[in-house]
Structures are given as structure tokens and as C-alpha cells.
Structure 1
Amino acid sequence: MNRKNKIPKFIFYMIALWTIFSTAHAEEIMPKAFVYTEVQNSVPFDQIPWKSRNPIISSQPGFISKTWLSGSGNNSVGGIYSFDSIENAKKYVTKFFPNAVKKQGVAHTSRIFDAVIVEKASRDIGSAHFGGKISTKPGAFVYTEIQVNLPFKNVPWQQRNPIIKKIPGLLSKTWLSGVNNTVGGFYAFDTLENAKQFAIEVFPKTAAKMNAALYTRIFDARLVEHASRGMDSPFFQ
């Protein structure tokens, strides 16, 4: 009799634990801010001491995930990160990261983006940062940013997403909205060839229609898989 009474309690206890875990996990994968960084260097990724860097980076306040980036053709080094708040993202790009790069004696680029405002648009296009499942391991990443001041509520993403989804080799896109209202995106592609076609041939035409300058980068995703897995990258689950 006692055993029968204990079974429901045990089941209830397990359900409660599962609910807590699920809620915590859901919160972990819902970023409030994105950070993009790129260091002005040329270092083959197999020479990057990522094993020693990962524990330091992941211990920064508000850190959720990082996908390492290795520039195609120039071996620049960078990352796309997610954070739990814009405040912690700002701490990272104004304090930790500049001090780390300064030790290398090189310049760098960093950007902060509001992740909350782009969630709906990004989910609609399969963003890995918002739970989207990609069909295959990415072969390349593309980062884009257009030099405009355009609040994201005025970005016609409902019209743009169906067009973007048809781009050859596209696996995922996360829309980016800068804290100063620049507009961009972080894309995963199946191959470097398709990534290059998009970044070199397609995207500049979009920026030209907006009569604005642009910033594009292509990265080899194959080189960074192992390092990124250790940082909870949503692209290498």
C-alpha cells in the first residue's frame, strides 16, 4: 500500500524536475542580445588556442553561446555570440574583448544587436539561434550589415523572408538589428561556393537598392565545428 502511494509522488517529482530543466533550457536558448566580433589578423584556425580560450569566454557575464568564425581567404578570427542581455553584451565588447585583443597588438571590429526585436522574423526563416533545426552541417557562414538607420519595426521582413529562403544553399538566417538600428544578418550555408555567390553577387544588389554602404564577410564553418561545439553553438548540436 505504501509503495502504491509513493509511485504517484515519485512520478510527480520527476515531472517537476523535467519542467524545471525544460524551462531553464528554454531560457538558455532565448538570447536577448547578439555580439559579432572579428580580429584584424591572419591566423589559420588550427593555430588558434581555442581550448584555453573557451572556458574564459564562456565564464563572462550573461554568456549563452558562441560560434567561432574563421575568415575564408584571409584567416581572420571572430565569433557570433548570444547573451542574456544587452547590458552584458556591452560589457563584453567594451571591457573583456578589447583587453583580450589588445594583447595581440591588432585592431578589431565588434557589434551589438538586439535579439528580442528580431526573434519573430528570425524564427520565420529557421534561425538556429531561436531553435531552428538545420538540415545539414553548415559549410560556411556569411555576416552582413547595411549602413542604415532603420528601426527593425520598419524592416519589411515578411516580404524579404520568402525571397531569402529561395537562395541556393541557405540553411538558416538570424536577422540582426543593431543597437543603433543598422540592419544585417548571420547566415548559414551548405557550401562555401553558395556563400560566396550570395555575399559577392546577390547581397550587394540589395544594398544598392537601399542606396547604402555594406559590410559582408564569409567564414569557413568546417574549420570551427569542434571549437564551437564546446561553446554551445546552435549550429553544431
Structure 2
Amino acid sequence: MTAHAKTPCELHRSRLGRRDILKLAAGMARGAAVGTGLLMPSIAQAAFSNSKTGTAPMSQNAFVYTELQISAPFDQVPWKKINDAIKAQPGFINKTWLSGLGNNSAGGIYAFDSIENAQKFVTGYFPAEARNFGVAQTTRVFDAMATKEASIDLNSVHYGAKPTTKPAAFVYTEVQLHVLPFDNGPWRTFNPVLKLQPGLLSKTWLSGLHTGTVGGFYAFDTIKNAQRFALDYFPTETRQLNAAFYTRVFDANATETASRDMASPFYG
């Protein structure tokens, strides 16, 4: 058969090959240099170069992302009651609460000891919680073992890195690509560029269970830097991948107390 160039649709349906990654790296370098103007030394750069990673206290094998379609200031969310219920869920390790910037949605990023327990959570407990609020919901399950190496390289607190700066904002991203296995994807190309983003404290890479979507959960030192990343830089990254994407920015200050109660790794 005659070889032919991949179409965008074919690229989306297949894993990214070495040639695609090399093209992507070149495009990112050009876009970063002349497109956003954001590739300057980050104030968080020292945290990456001096960070010490260790062994996480419990072994997580899955992450869960949730978001409820509500609009309520976080101090009106009954988080204490919810925390007690979630702590009793099988395999639960920790949760970082999320409060949507601008829309006051409520959600979280969770670690579980197994994919099976994460699936039980998103098919059993969480839909019932959303039903109690009378609202629609979003859930995602991610394979935590697939992204361990890539996440450790970005100072991920979910894999034992010790936080040196308290986050002021979180960003969640997900890209409409199918990349399985995750290690064949372009994370080695992206990580050096991500380390230069202003105010980035850490990133946990995410690989969608069954779907192979790629994304991440980021911590930033300020809301301004988180918005700059979500609005200015991230669209240039997905443009190079020719893919649709999903982003959310969250106010970390609003949820600190609730997250500490759930052993969030962002607070030591």
C-alpha cells in the first residue's frame, strides 16, 4: 500500500507517532516564541529545580474528577457533611475541593487506591450526591499509574513532591485526543515548555480510562497566572494538536480548609 500523510481525523483516532511529536515540538517552539510571549522564566522555576520527590503515603491507581452544575459560593456548600460521607467510600485516599472561578461550580479531584473503587464512586455515590442537590454532574476516571513518570517530572504532589508554595488557583484541562498507551504521547515534548509557564507550581497528568484522552490538573501561585495559562497558552498547545479541548479555572483559596480536611496533598 502507498504511504500517505495522516489526516487530522486519523491523528485523533491513533496514538501520536514519533514524526508527529517532532513536528509538534517544532510548532510549539515557534508558537511559544512569537505567539503568546509567555515563555519567560517562571517564578515557580526554583520549585521545579529544587523539588524533592518521595514516596506517596498511599498507592493511588486512579484519579477522579467531578463537577456539579451548581452556582453557589463555596461557604454555602455543605462540605463538612460531604467530607464525612466521602471518607467512608471504599479506596478513597484524598480529595482537593474545587470552586469554579466566575461560576461557583463545586467539584473535586480525588485519588483512589484502585480503578475499580474509582468506578464504584462515579457510578454509585457521586450520582446520588448530585441527585440530592438536584443538579447535573460531570465525572471522569483516570489511570494514575499510566501518568506517574510524566507527573513526577512536573513536581506532582500526588506522587510525593513536597509543596513549597500554597496554591491560589487550580486548572483542569482535557484534550479530545485518543492517546493509548499514554507513554507514547508527547508529554516529554510538553513538559519542558510547561515548566516555563509563569506561576506553575505543579501538574498531575491525566489519562482517561478507556477513552485515552489526555489532560492535567495544575496548581498555580495566583489566579492571574492560572487564567493566563488557560486563556493564552493552552489554546496554542491544542492548536498544534488540532484538537478540541476543555479547561476550567478554580479558586484554591476558597476551598483550602475543606481540602485540608480531606488530606489534599497540596497542603503538606
Report if TM-score (shorter chain) is over 0.5: yes
Q: SS of the counterpart of 2:265?
A: coil
Worse-matched range after superposition: 27-36 or 224-233: 27-36
Letter paired with 1:204: P
The residue number in structure 2 matching 1:57 is 86
39 and 159 in structure 1: CA distance in 2 versus 1, 3 angstrom threshold: same
**Mapped partners of 1:31, 1:182: distance in 2:** 19
Q: Does the CA contact (< 8 Å) of 1:29 and 1:129 recur in 2?
A: no
Q: SS of the counterpart of 1:103?
A: helix
Please, what TM-score do these two structures have when normalized by structure 1? 0.87
**Mapped partners of 2:189, 2:70: distance in 1:** 38
- Residues 161-201 of structure 1, C-alpha deviation per residue, up to 9 Å, x if partnerless? 11100000000000000011000000000000000000011
The residue number in structure 2 matching 1:204 is 235
- Residues 4-60 of structure 1, C-alpha deviation per residue, up to 9 Å, x if partnerless? xxxxxxxxxxxxxxxxxxxxx956433100000000010100111111111110110
How far residue 134 of structure 1 moved from its aligned partner, in angstroms, is 2.4
Whether 1:235 aligns to 2:266 is yes
Unaligned runs of 5+ in 2: 1-53
Letter paired with 1:55: D
**Mapped partners of 1:162, 1:67: distance in 2:** 26
Q: Does the CA contact (< 8 Å) of 1:29 and 1:131 recur in 2?
A: no
The residue number in structure 1 matching 2:18 is none
Letter paired with 1:216: T
Whether 1:177 aligns to 2:177 is no
Q: How does 1:126-141 map to 2 (within 5 A)?
A: 126-141=155-170
Letter paired with 2:258: A
**Mapped partners of 1:232, 1:35: distance in 2:** 15
Q: Does the CA contact (< 8 Å) of 2:203 and 2:217 recur in 1?
A: yes
Letter paired with 1:77: A
Q: SS of the counterpart of 2:133?
A: coil
**Mapped partners of 1:206, 1:26: distance in 2:** 31
**Mapped partners of 2:112, 2:221: distance in 1:** 26
* Correspondence for 1:42 among 67, 71, 88: 71
Between the aligned residues of both structures, percent identity stands at: 58
**Mapped partners of 1:134, 1:171: distance in 2:** 8
Whether 1:99 aligns to 2:128 is yes
Higher relative contact order (CA 8 A, sep 6+): 2
**Mapped partners of 2:177, 2:113: distance in 1:** 26
- Residues 105-148 of structure 1, C-alpha deviation per residue, up to 9 Å, x if partnerless? 11011000000010011001100100112221000000000011
**Mapped partners of 2:55, 2:242: distance in 1:** 39
The number of residues matched between the two structures is 213
Q: What's the RMSD between the two structures over aligned residues?
A: 1.2
**Mapped partners of 1:76, 1:113: distance in 2:** 21
Unaligned runs of 5+ in 1: 1-24
Q: Does the CA contact (< 8 Å) of 2:169 and 2:223 recur in 1?
A: yes
Worse-matched range after superposition: 27-36 or 146-155: 27-36
Q: Does the CA contact (< 8 Å) of 1:127 and 1:172 recur in 2?
A: yes
* Correspondence for 1:74 among 103, 112, 116: 103
Q: SS of the counterpart of 1:235?
A: helix
